[in-house]
Structure 1
Amino acid sequence: MNIKHIYTSMIAATLLVVSCKDTKQSEKTANNTMVAEYKGKPITKEFDAKIDSLVAQMTLEEKTGMLHGNSMFATKAIERLGIPELTMADGPLGVREEISRDSWTAAGWDNDFATYYPAGGGLAATWNTELAYLFGRSVGEEAIARDKDVLLSPAINIIRSPLGGRTYEYFTEDPFLNKKITVPFIVGVQENDVAVCVKHYAANNQETNRDFVDVQIDERTLREIYLPAFEAAVKEAHAYSFMGAYNKFRGEYLCENGYMLNDVLRDEWGFEGIVISDWAAVHDTKKSIENGLDVEMGTPKPFNEFFYADSLIEKVKSGEIAESDVDTHVKRILRMMFTLKSIDDKGRAKGSINTEAHFEDAYKIAAESVVLLKNDKNLLPLKTDNIKSIAVIGHNAMKKNALGGFGAGVKTKREVTPLEGLQNRLPKSIKINYAEGYLERYSNDEKAKLGDITLNGPVTINTLEPKLLEEALNAAKNSDVAIIFAGSNRDYETEASDRASLDLPFGQEELIKKVLEVNPNTIVVFIAGAPFDILDISQKSSSLIWSWFNGSEGGNALADVILGNVNPSGKLPWTMPKKLEDSPAHATNSFPGDESVVYTEGILVGYRWFDTKNVEPLYPFGYGMSYTTFEFSDLKTDKETYNADAIIEVTFNIKNTGKVAGKEVAQLYISDPESYVEKAAQELKGFEKVFLKSGSSKTVTMQLPAKELAYYNEVKKQWLVEPGTYKIKIGNSSRNIKSEVSINIK
């Protein structure tokens, strides 16, 4: 086994203590209340002598062949020395289908079907590190079963704007939640002798002008918001590879940025793996070689014309680049390959793919990701005893999202849609009246192929078809209950394009309002990866659910939540604004920028902005309801005063005061009201997902390192914990703090 997997606290990597009034329940739910510390296995150095020998036997042409793509997703093998290709696969949603070696055309295999896993937003919404590990382990098994060395995942950039085209793929707006989901995912993947490729390093927070935009971030903001998950990926998970982003950072492209690749990543954090470029993200041979990029990948030109191909050979022969620099990169690649056992293949993991076990893994993640936003009339969970008919309305009820958009998808044999999920779970006596409701319409301009579907698009894309509207209203009128499936899809939210607004597409808002008028017993379900403007709908509807691009079993999981077979426990991993202008990057008019973008909001990203500026969100960060209720009490710390290097022990009780069992996410925030520097009103610094039966309670003790209270001092270039009084808060969202206590730091 490639990790030390011991039970400890999610926040502090120290023991979480749980006491339970119901001892039998304590025994039954130990796996739900205890969490693991995930520590990855470092890259091995035991083959260094053999690596030196191999490099000494290579020609310059063989060396450079290992440093650039020789096919769409592989470098060149050196067969005479027993060195295979370094093979890669896209992977945020699951292992991508096999494509041709020299084009994006599908290879046409019949054995490359894979499990479609929930997108990053869905995983983050579980607030469950065990599920992050499960996801990683499961997709890692699939990757190695396809003989892949590198899985191009996870994508962990911070969500800076709700318009971001890859918001669905990224985890969260919060750096603490981000790193706590990232680390176990990486460890799970790499247990299978497959390297992750953590992307996109770094400050890659928009798709608009992503190929050249120059990102300007002050050092404190960079360190506190945008780098913590990348740093944890190195220091805790021992990620074997990183992907250099497309954009510039402080004037230098990130695939040739010496500060980010050498000074920070390698020298400061101790990264020993390899850096792979995003596809066609290299711009200069010499700068990239000398500033830390190991492998160049890309697609738009013949492989020998890559910067690390003929150009690199010429520059070495002319003396412009030292061959010893080339050797450095080759040795890094070989060291990783020996760690993965891809060279000698002795004892390498075998894995499995497209299995029932993996579909079950996808189900578990999806089931805990669904967020209950509103349930004013207790229409949910849906009681079927007296229901004879249900109207299912909306194209999203039958929309499949494993494939679509400009980004990587998954070729899967199973994707259960919401309509199919209801058909699987509802009693056969209940009639389902399906109506499509709206048509997907997209702009016809050339950019639409890259996902710019709302930019300069015709107004008619938001116009309802009268016939479809009539069918939907008739279905709603003639059914006991209506369920509308609205939101987005992976053609609408996509890599290579940011959305133009938060408006719901395809005339959905008008459709929802008209259905609500004819049938008040209407449940509105949004399927999307990023926030939308649902203020009016939220005010008019009594029952709202938020789901995601949720994998092969997403429809079954969603149906189980609607029917109460699963008690929803998902929490929003980002803030839902009332209007776009409330979000920090838009309130400061600093998104998306043109040739450059300045992150004017600084450290006040996401809920930090809303809470500090007293801007009321529609639904706050960390928010999510349940079919039961929970009560927090008796918050206390073990001391009143601590040193800056101490562990703060935080204890509180949680009780399930409702009628059904459920899971609650206890969220620990800290604030420093007496700080000498600008700080957010509060910051997430711990969380725990706790399962409780009806009427049962638990005392939970969290270990919070005082170092989590630190800020980054740009003058001293180090993290500092200010002395003074801090508040420790416990709640179940950033805007629903149940209790707080004060402590002093010497």
Structure 2
Amino acid sequence: MKFKTTILLMTIMLSILTSCKKDVEKSTAEKTEEITYQGKEISLENDQKIDSLIAKMTLEEKVGMLHGNSMFSNGGVERLGIPELKMADGPLGIREEISRDSWAPAGWDNDFATYYPAAGSVAATWNPELSYVFGNSVGQEARARDKDMILSPAINIIRTPLGGRTYEYFTEDPFLNKKLSVPFIVGIQDNDVMACVKHFAVNNQETNRGTVDVLVDERTLRELYLPAYKAAVTEAHAYSLMGAYNKFRGDYLCENDYMLNQILRGEWGFKGIVVSDWAAVHSTVKTLENGLDIEMGTPKPFNEFFLADKLVEAAKAGEISEEEINKHVKHILRVLFQVKAIDGENRIKGSLATEAHYKDAYNIAAESIVLLKNNKNLLPLQLDGVKSIAVIGNNAMKKNALGGFGAGVKTKREVTPLEGLQNRLPKDIKINYAEGYLERYSKNENNQKEEVTLDGPVTVETLDEVKLNEAIDAAKNSDMAIIFAGSNRDYETEASDRKDLSLPFGQKELIEKVLGINPNTIVVMIAGAPFDINTIKEKSSALIWSWFNGSEGGNALADVILGTVNPSGKLPWTMPKKIEDSPAHATHSFPGGESVTYKEGLLVGYRWFDTKNIEPLYPFGYGLSYTTFEFSDLKTNKQTYSDKDVIEVTFNIKNSGDFDGKEVAQLYVSNPNSKLERASQELKGFKKVDIQKGTSKNVTILLPIKELGYYNVDKKGWIVEPGTYKIRIGNSSRAIKGDVSISVN
């Protein structure tokens, strides 16, 4: 007995020591940079085997690998053990199985998947670890569905608030973009599946996307639109990229020598596959010689693709060498070996729609929700004395996993906001639901989706009188009200940009009427892109911004409303007061016609608003909490640096409120005496910190001096300008809590 007691005591002591060690490690980790994500490079060890396979292939078999053989696969060579490369859409989760030769669903009963929050939600978490969680989780689902490639993530810069795919992209800022893109890609590829990073590049509008020629100066291209793609290739080692629909400087991006050969493969050393967007190819020889590997497309006979029979004919006529064809086949085979699709011993099997994956979706959703306003402390919801709650709005019941022109997810679980409240509220509280407004669209002859235009979904703005009266009655006869408004994936959609920032379906009038009846009203906007909520901001006391937030979105939203989760989301883009304030619109350079010139240059998003002193409705990086945070003791490890140094920026954050919470510290850099055109400040670091109430944490952000560089067009490289820089710390681009100056030699 004495021996057992001694062993027990020793075990307890070891546990305590281990716990202390973890606490020390955690404390130390808070003083270092965020986790660094590095992908696995494409191996060349199978090149001899690959050359042997290619030598055994006929011309027709090689060409068969360079174009679609079904809607989501290329051709394999069965006799040589080369499988088809099987693809799946994946921005919101793994798309349901479709027919081989059409967009019609295949009708499977085993392709239900997890619906994940959209990329805009991930960006709003400002948490690279959750970006990795998303990628890793959806990568597991891709393998469970026997896929080799996920057509995700989409990492184009948000240039206009009206973009139909804003919800699908991360952010307006290149630094935040690359810091979220890299872990996402690594997470996917850790599961023996290729990430296909899209849409390369300068693909920033849906209007005329298939024809528009984008004209942007070289410095802007390098500093804003390419950093995330470069990081995807050089840090995450993405196995594939997707060429965009549009032109760049006169050439379509799927046959653009400068972008695909000179930059992507030449400068960045890309060894993977370049896949076309669907039906984005316009030539045969030029496309292949200028860097594309696989042509995918919309329904038509697959042998009629540019890289099908026409390529065989071109090769036989001597218009293109078989050596050129071999090079592209080799790209494909290398990556098939890389993900163990060939000789795939111990290839990850994956798992689909598990509780663990639903929890991943919940965790992302919970950290993405942004608290915009909380004047009367209506939030978190205090239930003492509350017997009834009016829940108003079509969005309380709207499901977004499917819908719109782009890829969705067939899922068995999508918790709506109303269901989330029903799951979380005490059963003795009565919920009075009223739809409030109808999601109605007018006939729109121009919105045929064949030639993409700015005509978008045309909505009926008149409120239905019966629905309005039901909402008013619910608000009158309830202790408080929650309105769920905003958008949906039928309104924000691939293939059309919005006409303006107006809320659709008469929602503005509905919200104003309810606010006038019941002052205890919380307004929840569910959308992926900015809207005109000027009046709602002024008249409401409590305002929340949520997203197309996945299978567990309703539960996460209810937990934020009730205070189980303290909101920590931050806006990943600027919300303008009016569309004319946004740079692409202020410069009258959207949407363009045959071509579009990015006249705003370097000043995209908050860079424009801050440099031009234009007040936004809500700034980039903005988001409130149920607690309060105080920043202090900002300093750097020294005052003068060389261009190869790393600045250690340290400061303290105190949680001085009544709730545990997470704050996003944002590091902006300014070079006020620069001889060049530069934004007034640029995001160059951030860290999300979890702090218990009444406690403080010392935080360190590591800032490599190279991040202060600009792209020198004449020297074709990055240069750090000597001089004095200001390092600013805040919790949005307009809420700077302190600054310190440093010098660079």
Alignment partner of 2:314: what SS?
helix
Report deviation, 1:443: 2.6
Cα separation, partners in 2 of 1:231 and 1:155, compared to 1, 3 Å: same
Question: 1:489 & 1:607 partners in 2: Cα distance?
Answer: 25
State the partner residue of 1:687: 686
Give the letter aligned to residue 271 of structure 2: E
State the partner residue of 1:455: 455
Give the letter aligned to residue 455 of structure 2: L
Do the aligned residues in 2 keep the contact of 1:522 with 1:541 (CA within 8 Å)?
yes
Alignment pair present for 1:291 and 2:263: no
1:43-192 equivalences under 5 Å are 43-192=42-191
State the partner residue of 1:9: none
Question: 1:283 & 1:487 partners in 2: Cα distance?
Answer: 38
User: What is the count of residue pairs matched by the alignment?
Assistant: 724
Do the aligned residues in 2 keep the contact of 1:213 with 1:594 (CA within 8 Å)?
yes
Give the letter aligned to residue 545 of structure 1: I
Report deviation, 1:30: 8.3
Report deviation, 1:24: 9.3
Alignment partner of 2:741: what SS?
strand
Report deviation, 1:294: 0.3
Gapped regions of structure 2 (runs ≥ 5): 1-19
Do the aligned residues in 1 keep the contact of 2:455 with 2:497 (CA within 8 Å)?
no
State the partner residue of 2:705: 706
Alignment partner of 1:38: what SS?
coil
Question: 2:722 & 2:454 partners in 1: Cα distance?
Answer: 50
Do the aligned residues in 1 keep the contact of 2:606 with 2:733 (CA within 8 Å)?
yes
Do the aligned residues in 2 keep the contact of 1:672 with 1:682 (CA within 8 Å)?
yes
Report deviation, 1:508: 0.1
Do the aligned residues in 2 keep the contact of 1:33 with 1:690 (CA within 8 Å)?
no
Do the aligned residues in 2 keep the contact of 1:280 with 1:300 (CA within 8 Å)?
no
State the partner residue of 1:646: 645
Do the aligned residues in 2 keep the contact of 1:33 with 1:689 (CA within 8 Å)?
no
Deviations 1:397-446 (A, max 9, x none): 00000000000000000000000000000000100000000001113124
Alignment partner of 2:167: what SS?
coil
Alignment pair present for 1:564 and 2:563: yes
Do the aligned residues in 2 keep the contact of 1:443 with 1:456 (CA within 8 Å)?
no
Alignment partner of 1:346: what SS?
coil
Do the aligned residues in 2 keep the contact of 1:55 with 1:327 (CA within 8 Å)?
yes
State the partner residue of 2:330: 331
Report deviation, 1:25: 7.0
Alignment partner of 1:139: what SS?
helix
Do the aligned residues in 2 keep the contact of 1:464 with 1:506 (CA within 8 Å)?
yes
State the partner residue of 1:305: 304
Report deviation, 1:44: 1.1
Cα separation, partners in 2 of 1:25 and 1:692, compared to 1, 3 Å: farther
Give the letter aligned to residue 558 of structure 2: A
Give the letter aligned to residue 211 of structure 1: G
Give the letter aligned to residue 694 of structure 1: K
Alignment partner of 1:386: what SS?
coil
Do the aligned residues in 1 keep the contact of 2:151 with 2:198 (CA within 8 Å)?
yes
Deviations 1:707-741 (A, max 9, x none): 11001111111111111100000000000000000
Do the aligned residues in 2 keep the contact of 1:403 with 1:411 (CA within 8 Å)?
yes
Do the aligned residues in 2 keep the contact of 1:202 with 1:244 (CA within 8 Å)?
yes
Do the aligned residues in 2 keep the contact of 1:442 with 1:448 (CA within 8 Å)?
no
Report deviation, 1:453: 10
Do the aligned residues in 2 keep the contact of 1:407 with 1:494 (CA within 8 Å)?
yes
Alignment pair present for 1:371 and 2:370: yes
Give the letter aligned to residue 701 of structure 1: T
Report deviation, 1:450: 3.7
Deviations 1:54-84 (A, max 9, x none): 0000000000000000000001121110001
Question: 1:509 & 1:601 partners in 2: Cα distance?
Answer: 31
State the partner residue of 1:716: 715
Do the aligned residues in 2 keep the contact of 1:372 with 1:568 (CA within 8 Å)?
yes
State the partner residue of 2:603: 604
Give the letter aligned to residue 590 of structure 2: F
Alignment partner of 1:186: what SS?
helix
Cα separation, partners in 2 of 1:350 and 1:539, compared to 1, 3 Å: same
State the partner residue of 2:36: 37
Deviations 1:678-716 (A, max 9, x none): 000000000000000011101111111011100111111
Deviations 1:494-513 (A, max 9, x none): 00000000000000000000
Report deviation, 1:531: 0.1
State the partner residue of 2:444: 445
Report deviation, 1:32: 8.3
State the partner residue of 2:201: 202
Report deviation, 1:26: 6.6
Alignment partner of 2:37: what SS?
strand
Question: 2:492 & 2:454 partners in 1: Cα distance?
Answer: 10
Question: 1:447 & 1:31 partners in 2: Cα distance?
Answer: 55
Do the aligned residues in 2 keep the contact of 1:442 with 1:454 (CA within 8 Å)?
no
State the partner residue of 1:657: 656
State the partner residue of 2:237: 238
Alignment partner of 2:381: what SS?
coil
Do the aligned residues in 2 keep the contact of 1:213 with 1:597 (CA within 8 Å)?
yes
Give the letter aligned to residue 583 of structure 2: P
Give the letter aligned to residue 399 of structure 1: K
Give the letter aligned to residue 329 of structure 1: H
Question: 2:314 & 2:339 partners in 1: Cα distance?
Answer: 31
Report deviation, 1:262: 0.4
Alignment partner of 1:118: what SS?
coil
Deviations 1:211-233 (A, max 9, x none): 01000000000000000000000
State the partner residue of 1:620: 619
Report deviation, 1:456: 8.1
Question: 1:206 & 1:454 partners in 2: Cα distance?
Answer: 10
Question: 1:687 & 1:343 partners in 2: Cα distance?
Answer: 41
Give the letter aligned to residue 730 of structure 1: I
Cα separation, partners in 2 of 1:603 and 1:43, compared to 1, 3 Å: same
1:135-534 equivalences under 5 Å are 135-448=134-447, 450=449, 455=455, 461-534=460-533
Do the aligned residues in 2 keep the contact of 1:214 with 1:251 (CA within 8 Å)?
yes
Gapped regions of structure 1 (runs ≥ 5): 1-21
Alignment partner of 2:102: what SS?
coil
Task: Give the TM-score of the pair, scaled to structure 1.
Answer: 0.95
Deviations 1:183-238 (A, max 9, x none): 00000000000000000000000000000100000000000000000000000000
Alignment partner of 2:36: what SS?
strand
